[in-house]
């Protein structure tokens, strides 16, 4: 870690190691991809993901706390983030490495603040009337992650940010479709009410796990919508720095594989939580790493422009 962009102190090393462990524990696929990034980007990715996961865990990890107490924690995190951006440091174990990373890679404070707003939204809102309503949530909890990662990974053109937001939204839509059963058991229904009404699916039907032709058609529609976001987002991956593209291609393909698994279950979200097997993840990752190495070699062989 001595070659990183931050001053190598015990506090910094401990903070970044903590972020790394959060990533390894909560996002094994993401952690695997990050391990093959260049050193500086790798540790920065741990710091970014660690912050996002920490904020999300405040409300997602079951704890005996009231809504007001959880909101108080979120507001403290927000306050510490703002102070950390101003001073460049924090004694908070996850804010500290994130602030060092954000300052280095010029990540606007609006992005992590929006993330916290999204987590707060998830604490207080359990239904979404329209897809536009849901999009706001998806943008805040996932779209901004794509935007922050674009700053971190590097880009050739600013239009990369447009596609990064779409990929974040695609992944969050995938999470929603994968977790319909778990979410409804916790009292949350993310599927837009207007979509349920359009296809004749009632909330009671969803809560009672009654899968029929109407539910099938509604799920087919949702999967197609998410797929369209992936297809559009993937157009922007070549706009990223060459040494980072494999990580985003891999993430897109792995998450897209979850949609394929949902289709294989006849679109029935109540048959058990779907996942992409580990061997498949490894195959996707190393295939993309190989492509990156080939692209890098080709770029080096190209004659310098005059």
DSSP single-letter state for residue 6: S
| 156 shares its domain with 252 | yes
| Residue 99 resides in a domain | yes
**303 has a pLDDT exceeding 90:** no
Residues 69 and 139 in one domain: no
Mean of the pLDDT values across residues 269-298? Answer: 71
In this structure, what are the phi and psi dihedrals at residue 130, rounded to the nearest 5 degrees?
A: -125, 165
CATH number at residue 236: 1.10.600.10
Residue 196 and residue 47 share a domain:
no
**Is residue 289 scored above 50 in pLDDT?**
yes
Q: Is residue 119 part of a domain?
A: no
pLDDT exceeds 70 at position 6: no
221 contact partners, CB below 8 Å, separation of at least 6: 195, 199
Residue 298 lies in a domain: no
- Asked if residue 134 is part of any domain, the answer here is yes
Residues 83 and 145 reside in one and the same domain = no
Whether residue 72 sits in one domain with residue 132: no
- Residues 208 and 285 placed together within one structural domain of the fold: yes
CA angle 66, 69, 71 (to 5 degrees): 110
Residue 156's contacts (CB-CB under 8 Å, 6 or more residues apart) are 239, 240, 241
The pLDDT value given to residue 306? 40
Please report whether residue 294 resides in a domain.
no
Does 233 share its domain with 266? yes
**pLDDT per residue as tens digits for the range 45-102:** 999 999 999 999 999 887 889 999 999 999 999 999 999 999 999 999 999 999 999 9
Instruction: Name the strand (E) or helix (H) holding 292.
Output: helix 278-301
| Domain membership flag for residue 115 | no
Q: Is residue 223 over pLDDT 50?
A: yes
Query: Is there a contact between 210 and 269 (Cβ–Cβ < 8 Å)?
Result: no
Residue 112 lies in a domain: no
- Specify if 303 maps to a domain: no
- Looking at per-residue pLDDT, the higher value among 31 and 54 belongs to 54
Torsion over CA: 289, 291, 297, 300 (sign): negative
Query: For the residues 136-159, what does the mean pLDDT come to?
Result: 97
130 shares its domain with 102: no
pLDDT value, residue 137: 98
Q: Which of 51, 81, 107 is the last residue of a domain?
A: 107
139 and 271 inside one domain: yes
Identify whether residues 253 and 184 lie together within a single domain. Answer: yes
Lowest mean pLDDT among 69-73, 233-237, 252-256: 252-256
Residues 276 and 165 in one domain: yes
Q: State yes or no: pLDDT of 29 exceeds 80.
A: no
Predicted TM-score (pTM) of the model is 0.90
Q: Is there a single domain that holds both residue 82 and residue 137?
A: no
Q: Look at the chain and report how many structural domains it folds into.
A: 2
The model's pLDDT over 160-180, given as tens digits with 9 standing for 90+, comes to 999 999 999 999 999 999 999
Contact 99, 81 (CB under 8 A): yes
Domain with 131 in it: 125-289
């Amino acid at each position: 870690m001595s070659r990183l962009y931050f001053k190598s102190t015990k506090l910094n090393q401990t903070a970044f190691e903590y972020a790394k462990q959060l990533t390894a524990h909560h996002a094994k696929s993401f952690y695997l991809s990050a391990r093959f990034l260049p050193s500086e980007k790798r540790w920065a990715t741990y710091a970014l993901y660690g912050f996002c996961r920490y904020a999300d865990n405040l409300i997602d990890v079951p704890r005996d706390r009231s809504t007001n107490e959880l909101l108080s924690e979120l507001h403290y995190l927000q306050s510490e983030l703002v102070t950390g951006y101003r001073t460049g440091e924090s004694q908070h174990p996850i804010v500290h490495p994130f602030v060092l990373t954000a300052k280095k890679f010029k990540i606007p404070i609006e992005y992590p603040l929006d993330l916290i707003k999204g987590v707060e939204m998830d604490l207080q809102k359990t239904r979404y009337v329209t897809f536009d309503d849901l999009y706001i949530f998806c943008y805040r909890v996932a779209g901004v992650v794509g935007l922050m990662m674009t700053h971190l990974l590097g880009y050739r053109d600013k239009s990369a940010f447009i596609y990064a937001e779409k990929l974040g939204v695609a992944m969050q839509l995938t999470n929603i479709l994968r977790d319909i059963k778990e979410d409804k058991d916790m009292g949350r229904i993310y599927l837009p009410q207007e979509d349920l009404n359009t296809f004749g699916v009632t909330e009671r039907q969803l809560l009672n796990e009654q899968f029929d032709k109407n539910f099938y058609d509604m799920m087919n529609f949702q999967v197609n919508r998410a797929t369209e976001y992936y297809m559009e987002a993937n157009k922007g991956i070549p706009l990223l720095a060459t040494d980072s593209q494999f990580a985003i291609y891999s993430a897109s393909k792995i998450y897209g594989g979850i949609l394929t698994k949902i289709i294989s279950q006849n679109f029935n979200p109540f048959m058990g939580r779907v996942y992409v097997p580990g061997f498949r993840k490894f195959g996707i990752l190393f295939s993309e790493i190989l492509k990156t190495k080939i692209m890098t070699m080709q770029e080096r062989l190209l004659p310098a422009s005059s």
